[in-house]
A and B are shown apart, each in its own frame.
Chain A
Amino acid sequence: MSLRILVGCKRVIDYAVKVRVKPDHSGVVTQGVKHSLNPFDEIAVEEAVRLKEKKHASEIIAVSCGPAACQETLRTALAMGADKAIHVEVSEAEYATLQPVHVSKILAKLAERTQANLILVGKQAIDDDLNQTAQMTAGVLDWPQGTFVSQVEPEGDSLKIVREVDGGLEHIKVKLPAVVSADLRLNEPRYATLPNIMKAKKKPMEKLSAKDLGVDIAARIKVVNVAEPPVREAGAKVENVDELLGKLKDLGRI
């Protein structure tokens, strides 16, 4: 079965940025901060491209939900090898409360619209670490799911999947259409090449709104307060184990 793959591409604050909380505690500072494609989504894109290179897939459609800047993130996915992109525009204000429950409904609608039979997403986004989108999307569509995968192998109308679970690896087989979420060891994403970066500029990008898809993205949560984690206190060096045990006793930890 030839795959039509829908890949989730979330735009997140770059992993190397030191994230700061806004002075009014309503969220984190995003203005003027470097953003990039969520690293786990990058792995998902890479896997899709490899599936296409191995002739298992016929088309790769990259999707991003969020403000206009998400189009830059989509261009990265296109430069890596996605064929086309869909930008579901969500205003900055709405984006602040957009959650997996909304995104999964959008992805489900887009799967119907594009006739995708595989939805590939990262296991989580490095900004909110929610780890729910794949699972909820499978729920909305009533498709089977393979989460935290480190290996994917198409076989007839199924996928042979290796999952990373506590204490080892789990081998499963899921029937297509399916939802898969990528774990860290699935692959090592390629670097976009300059020729492909330039070609990506000309690849088609469709713009939609949640309304176009009939998905209600009204807020389900209210952000009450965002605070910095407590600052780590300076450590001290001890000379030997006895001193260490003594200190721990003094602190009442042992």
Chain B
Amino acid sequence: MFLSRCVRRIHPGTSCRWVSFNTNEHEQLRESVRKVVTNDINPCIEEWEAKGRFDKKFVLKKLAEIGALGITKPTEYGGLGLDYSYNVPFLEEIGMCRGAGVVTGVTVHTDMCCPALIRFGTEELKQQFLAPSISGEFLGCVGVSEPDAGSDVASIRTTAKRDGDDLIINGTKMWITNGTQADWMCMLANTREGKAHKNKSLICVPMNLKGITVAKKIQKIGQHCSDTAQIFFENVRVPASNIIGEEGQGFMYQMMQFQEERLAAALAIPNQLDKVIEETAEYLATRKVFKTPLLDKQYIQFKLAELKTEVEAIRSISYRGAQQIVEGEDATMLASMAKLKAGRVARDVVDTCLQFHGGMGYTEEMWISKAWRDCRLISIAGGADEIMLYIISKYMGICKD
């Protein structure tokens, strides 16, 4: 933790450069996010878990007040226009919510539904959807997955057919985080016939339109304070000008914005896992078995040391991915590796720590049992581990698909 959080990169032919994630300004932002999380969000989590959704107005207001919804977003729409390094302390600290559902809901809003809109959207679209997302008035969601298309994004069936100046949307979106309470969706839909990678568009869809029905709130094994919905779209009419960027480029845009999504998912993990390990060690220091504290057993010490090292590896890969984004480079490979590592290590950490808690670990009373349920998602949502491996093998040149 005390190592300087810098990443060094040497560009061929130029002097080396450091991107720092811990200047005094980064640390002050971290402190403010931490205060919102510990003083405002965490005391409400139990209530939100029972209700099955977090209070979007409250959470967005608190985060907007400290400027955390617009860190890297353009200043013209109320953002701060800072480089991606400032997103790092935000994600690390929001990850410390004592219910990962809030983390998922918030990061979908801040890091997953907006990148394409920012990069390719028109001025009008940004005024209509980006500005209120930064001010905390609107909550966003991402509509890519469908009942019959998750890992294979190209096979989605939802259509948005042209009708004069409008699009008529028909289809079903599945697993939509924030789905029951979002104000707008960044939706991927087929806007024409033809090749699966060239016939799709990203579309900004206001969620209060006629023909949109939240079919059901999905009951999950964890992340209870995040609402996840299946949503029907039946002849939903939106202006064709709601298409982000070029019509037909949606698949590519979505593949691009998956980088921010996956890196954000990974960056939110390490601090949270450090806390799990720390609290487990504290518990084990007081828990006596065979007359001595469990923490005195070298087997347990080494296991925790191993896990701590793995957590540091997620952090390092993620920081290098963040560095690439700051430098405007393609972060696909590192973002995929970071997400893969985050998912796998998180499962390992929470499972091992739960095990060391014994029976107490299996009770609802302990945070570890919630962390165990909540963390399982990382290896599935935002692209399963196997999809990360697929991307990495493509970048290695060993997968010829």
Q: A-side interface residues toward B, CB under 8 Å?
A: 32, 36, 72, 75-76, 79, 191-195, 197-198, 200-201
Contacts and interface: CB of A to CB of B under 8 A. Distances in A.
A201 B65 CA distance: 19
B203 interface: no
B2 A192 contact: no
Interface stretch (B20-28, B356-364, B379-387): B20-28
Interface of B: 2, 24-25, 27-29, 31-32, 35-36, 65-68, 71, 80, 82, 86
B28 A76 contact: yes
Given A32-B2, A201-B25, A193 B32 contact: yes
Nearest to B75: A195
Q: Which secondary structure dominates chain A's binding surface?
A: helix
Given A72-B24, A191-B65, A192-B66, A197 B32 contact: yes
Given A76-B28, A194-B80, 8 more contacts: A72-B27, A191-B35, A191-B65, A193-B32, A193-B67, A194-B71, A194-B82, A200-B28
B64 to A, nearest CB: 10
Contacts of A32: 2
Contacts of B32: 191-194, 197
Contacts of A197: 25, 28-29, 32
A120 to B, nearest CB: 21
A79 B68 CA distance: 15
A194 B24 contact: no
Contacts of A200: 28
A117 B2 CA distance: 41
A17 to B, nearest CB: 12
B294 to A, nearest CB: 15
A191 B27 contact: no
Given A32-B2, A198-B80, A198-B82, A193 B66 contact: yes
| 9 interchain residue pairs of minimum CB distance | A194-B67, A32-B2, A191-B32, A197-B28, A191-B35, A193-B67, A72-B24, A193-B66, A192-B32
A79 B67 CA distance: 13
Nearest to A189: B35
Given A32-B2, A198-B80, A191 B24 contact: no
A191 B31 CA distance: 8
Contacts of B31: 36, 76, 191-192
A194 B81 CA distance: 11
Contacts of A75: 24-25, 28
Contacts of B29: 194, 197
Most buried by B among A36, A72, A192: A192
Contact of A193 (B2, B24, B65, B82): B65
A191 B66 CA distance: 7
B86 to A, nearest CB: 8
Contacts of B82: 194, 198
A42 B191 CA distance: 56
A195 B66 CA distance: 8
Contact of A195 (B2, B27, B80): B80
A197 B31 CA distance: 11
A79 B24 CA distance: 11
A191 B80 contact: no
A76 B25 CA distance: 9
